[in-house]
Each structure stands twice: as structure tokens, then as C-alpha cells.
Structure 1
Amino acid sequence: MAIEPTDELIELQRAANRAREKALAGVYSREAWRPWLEAADALQAAVTEHATAAGQDRHKVEQAAKDAVREPVDA
């Protein structure tokens, strides 16, 4: 049975991805990376909460959220 991530998890994954891109685009500093780390923490908390409530493997839930927002690769 495939795991379907919630809209909330998808949006949290997108936010973490955007924050990561922004953090990696500049010079490292704690302040510059803070939004990425906070977005990643929020995503992880939501993944754990969802997986626990649904009785699903949290790693599979996390991967489903990542897969849902992954851009297709052109061959």
C-alpha cells in the first residue's frame, strides 16, 4: 500500500527545500541557515506525528513527502 503524504507534509517539504536552496546559495552563517534548520525541524515533527497517528513507518512517510515534491528529471 502506497503512502500518500498529506498536503501539510508536502507544503512543509517544499518550504524546507526552498529554505535549503536559499541557505546553500550564500555564505555559511548560523543566521543564514537558521530558516532551513527550522523548516527541517518542523517537517520532521510533522512526519513523526503523522506516522504515529496513522501507524505508518516514519521513514516511508518522509520519503513519500520528498517524492511528492521532487522535480522530474529530463532524460
Structure 2
Amino acid sequence: MADINIPDDLILLERSAWEQIQAGTLTVETAQAVQQRITEIAAETGQPRNDVEMQVKRIVRHPQADGS
């Protein structure tokens, strides 16, 4: 999987979704917003949508793996 430049707004959306998931309060609106933005970034970069989703989840859920 190639490194994809994930914009800050998508990271913030995913971070919000992840916090809601952990709290058991994830809303359909939040989930849809994340998925829509992932789809937009995939189209803009020409990368597979699944690759974009995996990378943003890795950044948010496992930041130590990226050295952040």
C-alpha cells in the first residue's frame, strides 16, 4: 500500500468517529461523513478507497506505528 497524503480534516473526522465508537455513541451521520470523505480522497488521489480507509484508521488508531 502506497503512503497517501491524508488531509487533516479526514483525520479529525476519523478521530471523532473512533472516540464515538469507543464510547458506544457512533452516529450514522458521523460514519457517513467519514466514508464520504474517504471516497473523495480516494477519487482525488487515484488510490483504492480501501487503502485510504486503512491508512487513516492506522493513523488514528495506531499512531505509534507511524512514529507520531
Provide the TM-score with structure 1 as the length reference.
0.71
Residue of structure 2 in register with 1:60 after alignment: 51
Larger radius of gyration: 1
In structure 1, stretches of 5+ residues that fail to align are 24-32
Contact 1:4 1:64 in 2 (8 A): no
Deviation at 1:3, TM superposition (A): 1.6
The CA RMSD measured in Å over matched residues stands at 1.8
Once residues 13 and 50 of structure 2 are traced to their aligned partners in structure 1, the CA distance between those partners, rounded to angstroms, is 16
Query: Which portions of structure 1, spanning 4 or more consecutive aligned residues, are displaced by more than 4 angstroms?
Result: none
The number of residues matched between the two structures is 63
> One-letter code of the match for 1:67?
R
Deviation at 1:4, TM superposition (A): 2.7
Provide the TM-score with structure 2 as the length reference.
0.77
Share of identical aligned residues, percent? Answer: 35
